[in-house]
């Protein structure tokens, strides 16, 4: 599933990335429209059929995994956590001290990785990458965006973080330090953006609506104009 028009970071996504994305959200069970499927979707279907026929996987188990990653785990959980941290100082302290426990406190999946929350301030902006492969807090934020795994993002974020931010339309004051955090198999990060001006008096639900996945990776800033 390609990002909606206008949300693609120029220079970080090649056309091939969209075609090679076997996003689990594209999984369907109406197998009668193969002419409309991409090459990768056809490959996934073929692989699934073989694995099911040989008895290696249960279709119901696959459906349960897809349901989990589509609805139960995803950036909406992180958005709830960030929004609460903007209105509840005690919760914010907990999030910064033990991010996994903060997710658990809201009844949200906390994942199995060691999760660290990185606080954005006027002095420092944080951005997350995995230079080695694609480590991402999937247990809390769901499936990573395609560009996160691209060689361009992984290399340029370290060499030229401000250039990468610019690709996403994010410009920071020149005196704000940009700190890059390299995820590992053991440690994953979630960025806690600053609450934007103009959101005074908003409910947690309204605030959560402007915290996108990219805000929690650090490539974009929450946009009050994007409130649903
Ligand atoms: Fe990795």
pLDDT surpassing 60 at residue 31: no
Paired strand residues for 188: 115
Least confident of 24-28, 59-63, 146-150, 224-228: 24-28
Q: Give me ligand 1 centre to Cα 208, in Å.
A: 27
Q: Do 138 and 216 lie in a common domain? A: yes
Cα angle, residue 119 at apex, residues 226 and 94 outer, rounded to 5°: 105
Helix (H) or strand (E) holding 128: strand 124-129
Is residue 139, in this structure, part of any structural domain at all? yes
Is residue 2, in this structure, part of any structural domain at all? no
pLDDT surpassing 50 at residue 14: no
Cα angle, residue 73 at apex, residues 179 and 9 outer, rounded to 5°: 45
pLDDT surpassing 80 at residue 19: no
pLDDT surpassing 70 at residue 112: yes
Is residue 178, in this structure, part of any structural domain at all? yes
pLDDT surpassing 90 at residue 9: no
Domains held by the chain: number: 2
Please report the pLDDT score of residue 65 as a whole number: 82
Q: Give me ligand 1 centre to Cα 199, in Å.
A: 35
Q: Give me ligand 1 centre to Cα 182, in Å.
A: 9
Cα gap 138→4, rounded to integer Å = 21
Structure tokens at 113: 């990785």
Q: Do 129 and 88 lie in a common domain? A: yes
Comparing CA positions, the residue from 164, 173, 169 lying closest to residue 127 is: 164
Q: Give me ligand 1 centre to Cα 185, in Å.
A: 6
Taken in order 13, 15, 20, 23, the sign of the CA dihedral is positive
* Tens-place pLDDT, residues 142-170: 889 999 999 999 999 999 999 999 999 99
Please report the pLDDT score of residue 227 as a whole number: 55
Sorting pLDDT into bands at 50, 70 and 90, what band is 35?
A: low
| Residues carrying an active site annotation | 130, 133-135
Q: Do 90 and 153 lie in a common domain? A: yes
Q: Give me ligand 1 centre to Cα 15, in Å.
A: 22
Please report the pLDDT score of residue 21 as a whole number: 37
Taken in order 149, 152, 155, 160, the sign of the CA dihedral is negative
Q: Do 51 and 122 lie in a common domain? A: no
Q: Give me ligand 1 centre to Cα 52, in Å.
A: 29
Is residue 192, in this structure, part of any structural domain at all? yes
Please report the pLDDT score of residue 111 as a whole number: 83
Mean pLDDT of the chain: 85
Q: Give me ligand 1 centre to Cα 149, in Å.
A: 9
pLDDT surpassing 50 at residue 187: yes
Q: Do 82 and 171 lie in a common domain? A: yes
Q: Do 50 and 103 lie in a common domain? A: no
Q: Do 33 and 78 lie in a common domain? A: no
Is residue 5, in this structure, part of any structural domain at all? no
Cα gap 110→186, rounded to integer Å = 14
Query: Do β-strands 124-129 and 114-119 pair in parallel, antiparallel, or remain unpaired?
Result: unpaired
Q: Do 83 and 167 lie in a common domain? A: yes
pLDDT surpassing 90 at residue 1: no
Residues in the chain: 228
Q: Give me ligand 1 centre to Cα 125, in Å.
A: 21
Q: For position 199, which CATH number holds?
A: 3.90.330.10
Task: Please state whether the predicted TM-score (pTM) of the whole model is above 0.85.
Answer: no
User: What does the longest C-alpha to C-alpha distance in the chain come to?
Assistant: 59
Average pLDDT score over residue span 124-152: 94
Q: At what angle do helices 75-87 and 89-97 cross, to 10 degrees?
A: 130
Q: Do 81 and 188 lie in a common domain? A: yes
Q: Do 208 and 188 lie in a common domain? A: yes
Is residue 3, in this structure, part of any structural domain at all? no
Residues ≥6 apart with Cβ < 8 Å to 220: 168, 169, 170, 212, 214
Is residue 7, in this structure, part of any structural domain at all? no
* Tens-place pLDDT, residues 194-209: 999 999 999 999 999 9
Residues ≥6 apart with Cβ < 8 Å to 153: 9, 12, 129, 147, 164
* Tens-place pLDDT, residues 48-106: 899 989 998 888 888 888 788 778 889 999 999 999 999 999 999 999 999 999 999 99
Cα gap 204→33, rounded to integer Å = 42
Give the domain range for residue 119. Answer: 74-226
């Amino acid at each position: 599933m390609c990002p909606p028009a206008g949300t693609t970071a120029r220079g970080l996504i090649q056309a091939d990335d969209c075609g090679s994305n076997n996003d689990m959200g594209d999984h369907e069970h109406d197998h009668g429209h193969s002419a409309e499927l991409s090459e990768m979707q056809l490959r996934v279907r073929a692989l699934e059929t073989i694995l099911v026929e040989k008895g290696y996987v249960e279709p119901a188990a696959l459906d349960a995994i897809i349901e989990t990653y589509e609805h139960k785990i995803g950036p909406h959980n992180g958005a709830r956590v960030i929004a609460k941290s903007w209105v509840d100082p005690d919760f914010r302290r907990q999030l910064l001290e033990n991010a996994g426990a903060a997710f658990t406190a809201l009844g949200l999946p906390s994942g199995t990785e060691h999760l660290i929350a990185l606080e954005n301030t006027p002095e420092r902006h944080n951005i997350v990458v995995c230079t080695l492969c694609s480590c991402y807090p999937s247990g809390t934020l769901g499936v990573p965006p395609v560009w996160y795994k691209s060689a361009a993002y992984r290399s340029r974020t370290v060499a030229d973080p401000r250039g990468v931010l610019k690709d996403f339309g994010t410009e920071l004051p020149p005196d704000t330090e940009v700190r890059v955090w390299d995820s590992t198999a053991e440690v994953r990060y979630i960025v806690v953006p600053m609450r934007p001006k103009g959101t005074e008096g908003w409910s947690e639900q309204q605030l959560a609506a402007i915290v996108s996945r990219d805000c929690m990776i650090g490539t974009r800033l929450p946009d009050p104009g994007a409130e649903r």
